[in-house]
């Protein structure tokens, strides 16, 4: 038998894992839970900003690589280099702490970055 | 410690070279691309001439069994630290059990692995470079082999989180020549006037292919035949890295880091010291062009290169110090 406590627990899992519907079958019994429709609500996602950890000129790619600049919609991996800060002859990496999809690029190639300046906004999958 | 995992031949420990023993017949040895080693050392806060590993044959891989600051410079060889791509001319902290893999180079032909404080091998005649022909210096006086274990002279980290890199030196210096060929600057040498005028024209305007018979001792070139006005016999005399000798047959040889200290072939020119690193990254099949310069130009070029390296060293030091401040 499925108790009210069981339903409560299952609902907790659904909320935690963002499930919209869950169906459980056992013998002839079947129970189906479905979240109330909330039309027009976007999928729940979280924004994260990638910040410059140094001062200098923004390079979209390593000068020896010739890779194209990141643009809105591109995927980045956690710990991945998303650009460089050029300080005279020295380069510092701009590293994304999260995996996600680029939703905004805040700085143009070659522009000057201050410490803590936002470089990208990512939509991070929760 | 660093353990060599690959059986790749020809990798050797090299520093800024063994200077001052020519009179004893000891050639200079040292890194072929001294600029790449200097850049790696600048990023790591090492002395400019600290010893690194010169890697001319790829693939090559090593495993670290302690945390260590490393820098990889020179040829861009799609290096990976475990599964993560490492940027060219880059210094980073590695952790115990990580594996560094270098693949076939996209450009250049010699990579340099520098470590915190430099590679810890004994100093012999003022240098840690491997003296291959004589079998001393470096690691047991020989090329590295699979299973060799090397220590760094410093294990604590000075690098910012995520590491730091250097701009390509070629991008910081005035451009030399045009097109795909490698241009180096050359001084006319002692026997220059004994060559025919056509040989002079060919030297300055010809394309000189680096042949596969090219190594740390010297590069044999293929191009127009350089002929003397009349054949001459010379007594053996001192020869330094950069000297362009012309043996009978007229195809020149550029003597390099491991060249014999003496030779008897006539010398038509000398590649200036400030451009020897450019030769080090020219692959067999690539073509060289020689640009004539004066002694004063050669000295100015050397000072310019020194200033460039000094500015990388100074900026790297400032960036390391600033990063240290921000991380507190």
Q: Is the dihedral of CA B36, B42, B48, B51 positive or negative?
A: negative
- Which residues in A lie closer than 8 A to residue B89 (C-beta atoms)? 64
Task: Name the residue among A59, A48, A47, A46 with its Cα closest to residue A97.
Answer: A48
pLDDT at A43: 60
Residue B251 structure tokens? 């195809």
Closest Cβ–Cβ partner in B76, B166, B172 for A91? B166
pLDDT in tens, A82-102: 999 999 999 999 999 989 999
Has residue A40 been placed in a domain?
Answer: no
What's the rounded mean pLDDT across residues B93-109? 93
- Calpha distance B259→B251 (Å, rounded): 17
- Calpha distance A81→A96 (Å, rounded): 7
pLDDT at A41: 60
Angstrom distances, CA of residue B285 to CA of A54, B25, B211 = 42, 32, 6
CB contact under 8 A, A91 and B76: no
Question: Is the domain of A12 the same as that of A55?
Answer: no
- Calpha distance A61→B147 (Å, rounded): 36
Closest Cβ–Cβ partner in B76, B160, B167 for A86? B167
Question: Is the domain of A50 the same as that of A104?
Answer: yes
Residue B74 structure tokens? 């020179």
Question: Is the domain of A65 the same as that of A25?
Answer: no
Question: Is the domain of A114 the same as that of A70?
Answer: yes
Query: DSSP labels for chain A?
Result: ---HHHHHHHHHHHHHTT-SEEEEEETTEEEEEEPPP-TTPPPP-EEEEEE-SS-EEEESS-TTT-PPPP-TT-EE-TT-EEEEEEETTEEEEEE-SS-EEEEEE-S-TT-EE-TT-EEEEEEE--
- Which residues in A lie closer than 8 A to residue B84 (C-beta atoms)? 79
Question: Is the domain of A22 the same as that of A61?
Answer: no
What's the rounded mean pLDDT across residues B275-296? 96
CB contact under 8 A, B319 and A90: yes
Strands A100-105 and B90-94 turn out to be unpaired
pLDDT at B310: 96
Q: Are A49 and B275 in contact (CB under 8 A)?
A: no
Question: Helix crossing, B295-327 with B34-44: angle to 10°?
Answer: 20
Question: Is the domain of A50 the same as that of A74?
Answer: yes
Domain B182-293 matching CATH 3.40.630.30: the answer reads no
Residue of chain B with shortest Cα separation from A88? B315
Bridge partners for B188 per DSSP: B269
User: How many structural domains does chain A have?
Assistant: 2
- Which residues in A lie closer than 8 A to residue B308 (C-beta atoms)? 89
Residue B166 structure tokens? 């250097």
Closest Cβ–Cβ partner in A62, A90, A93 for B162? A93
DSSP helix/strand/coil, B23:
helix
- Calpha distance B113→B107 (Å, rounded): 16
Closest Cβ–Cβ partner in B168, B172, B312 for A64? B168
- Calpha distance A81→A60 (Å, rounded): 10
What's the rounded mean pLDDT across residues B10-34? 95
Task: Please identify among residues 72-111 of chain A the ones whose CB lies closer than 8 Å to any CB of chain B.
Answer: 79, 81, 84, 86-93, 95
Domain hosting A70: range is 46-124
**Which CATH number covers residue A103?**
2.40.50.100
Question: Is the domain of A50 the same as that of A88?
Answer: yes
Task: Name the residue among A124, A25, A80 with its Cα closest to residue B162.
Answer: A80
Question: Is the domain of A56 the same as that of A29?
Answer: no
- Calpha distance A69→B88 (Å, rounded): 18
- DSSP conformation class of B52: E
Q: Are B11 and B4 in contact (CB under 8 A)?
A: yes
DSSP helix/strand/coil, B155:
coil
Has residue A41 been placed in a domain?
Answer: no
Alpha-carbon gap: B128 to the closest alpha carbon of chain A (Å):
27
pLDDT in tens, A19-33: 888 887 777 778 888
Closest Cβ–Cβ partner in B84, B161, B164 for A91? B164
Task: Please identify among residues 39-68 of chain A the ones whose CB lies closer than 8 Å to any CB of chain B.
Answer: 53-55, 62-65
Has residue A93 been placed in a domain?
Answer: yes
Please say if the pLDDT value at position B259 is more than 60: yes
Average pLDDT of chain B, as a whole number: 94
* Alpha helix segments (H runs only) across chain B: 34-44, 169-172, 197-205, 276-280, 295-327
CB contact under 8 A, B167 and A79: no
Share of chain B above pLDDT 70, in %: 99
Within 10 A of B118 (CB to CB), how many other CB atoms are there?
A: 23
- Which residues in A lie closer than 8 A to residue B43 (C-beta atoms)? 90
- Which residues in B lie closer than 8 A to residue A78 (C-beta atoms)? none
pLDDT in tens, B102-158: 998 888 999 999 999 999 999 999 999 999 999 999 999 999 999 999 999 999 999
Has residue A101 been placed in a domain?
Answer: yes
Question: Is the domain of A22 the same as that of A73?
Answer: no
What's the rounded mean pLDDT across residues B14-42? 96
Strand order in the sheet with A46-51: A46-51, A118-124, A100-105, A75-76
CB contact under 8 A, B315 and A81: no
Angstrom distances, CA of residue A9 to CA of A4, A5, A62, B84 = 9, 6, 50, 41
Has residue A57 been placed in a domain?
Answer: yes
Per-domain boundaries in chain B:
2-166, 182-293
Closest Cβ–Cβ partner in A63, A92, A95 for B171? A63
Question: Is the domain of A69 the same as that of A114?
Answer: yes
Q: Give the alpha-carbon dihedral of A8, A12, A14, A18, to 10 degrees.
A: 150
Has residue A17 been placed in a domain?
Answer: yes
Residue B188 structure tokens? 């006319």
Q: Write out chain A's pLDDT in tens, 126 residues.
A: 667 777 777 777 787 777 888 887 777 778 888 877 665 565 666 888 999 888 899 999 999 887 888 888 899 988 889 999 999 999 999 999 989 999 999 999 999 998 889 999 999 876
Closest Cβ–Cβ partner in A62, A89, A95 for B311? A89
- Calpha distance B196→B226 (Å, rounded): 8
CB contact under 8 A, A79 and B168: no
- Which residues in A lie closer than 8 A to residue B76 (C-beta atoms)? 64
- Which residues in A lie closer than 8 A to residue B318 (C-beta atoms)? 87
Q: Which residue reads 């475990």 in tokens?
A: B82
Question: Is the domain of A120 the same as that of A82?
Answer: yes
Q: How many CB pairs under 8 A join A and B?
A: 71
The answer to whether ipTM exceeds 0.90 is: no
Has residue A58 been placed in a domain?
Answer: yes
- Calpha distance B130→B54 (Å, rounded): 10
Q: Indicate which of A59, A76, A85, A89 best probes the interface with B, i.e. most B CBs within 10 Å of its own CB.
A: A89
CB contact under 8 A, B160 and A92: yes
Question: Is the domain of A55 the same as that of A29?
Answer: no
């Amino acid at each position: 038998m499925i108790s009210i406590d069981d339903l409560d627990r299952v609902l907790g899992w659904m909320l935690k894992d963002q499930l919209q519907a869950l169906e459980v079958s056992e013998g002839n019994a079947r129970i189906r839970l479905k979240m109330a429709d909330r039309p027009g609500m976007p999928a729940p996602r979280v924004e994260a900003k990638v910040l410059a950890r140094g001062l200098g000129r923004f390079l979209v790619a390593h000068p020896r690589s010739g890779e194209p600049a990141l643009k809105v919609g591109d995927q980045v991996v956690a710990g991945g280099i998303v650009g460089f800060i050029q300080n005279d002859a020295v380069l510092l990496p701009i590293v994304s702490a999260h995996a996600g999809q680029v939703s905004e690029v805040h700085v143009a190639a070659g522009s000057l970055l201050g410490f803590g300046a936002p470089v990208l906004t990512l939509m991070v999958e929760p | 410690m660093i353990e060599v995992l690959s059986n790749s031949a020809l990798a050797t420990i090299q520093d800024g070279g063994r200077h001052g023993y020519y009179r004893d017949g000891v050639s200079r040895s040292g890194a072929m691309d001294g600029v790449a080693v200097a850049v790696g050392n600048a990023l790591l806060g090492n002395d400019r001439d600290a010893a690194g590993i010169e890697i001319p044959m790829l693939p090559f891989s090593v495993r670290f069994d302690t945390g260590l600051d490393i820098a990889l410079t020179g040829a861009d060889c799609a290096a990976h630290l475990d599964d993560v791509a490492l940027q060219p001319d880059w210094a980073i902290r590695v952790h115990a059990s990580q594996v560094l893999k270098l693949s076939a180079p996209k450009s250049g032909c010699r990579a340099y692995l520098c470590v915190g404080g430099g590679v810890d091998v004994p100093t012999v005649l003022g240098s840690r470079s491997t003296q291959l022909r004589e079998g001393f210096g470096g690691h047991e006086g020989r090329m590295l082999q699979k299973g060799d274990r090397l220590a760094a002279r410093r294990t604590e980290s000075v690098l910012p989180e995520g590491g730091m890199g250097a701009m390509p030196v070629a991008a910081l210096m005035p451009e030399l020549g045009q097109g795909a060929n490698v241009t180096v600057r050359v001084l006319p040498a002692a026997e220059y006037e004994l060559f025919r005028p056509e040989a002079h024209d060919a030297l300055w305007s010809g394309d000189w292919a680096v042949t596969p018979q090219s190594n740390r001792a010297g590069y044999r070139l293929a191009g127009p035949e350089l002929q003397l006005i009349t054949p001459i016999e010379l007594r053996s005399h001192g020869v330094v890295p950069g000297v362009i000798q012309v043996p009978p047959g007229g195809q020149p040889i550029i003597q390099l880091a491991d060249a014999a200290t003496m030779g008897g072939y006539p010398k038509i020119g000398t590649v200036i010291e400030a451009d020897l690193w450019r030769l080090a990254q020219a692959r067999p099949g690539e073509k060289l062009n020689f640009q004539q310069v004066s002694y004063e130009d050669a000295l100015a070029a050397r000072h310019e290169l020194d200033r460039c390296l000094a500015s990388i060293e100074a900026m790297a030091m400032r960036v390391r110090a600033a990063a240290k401040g921000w991380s507190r």
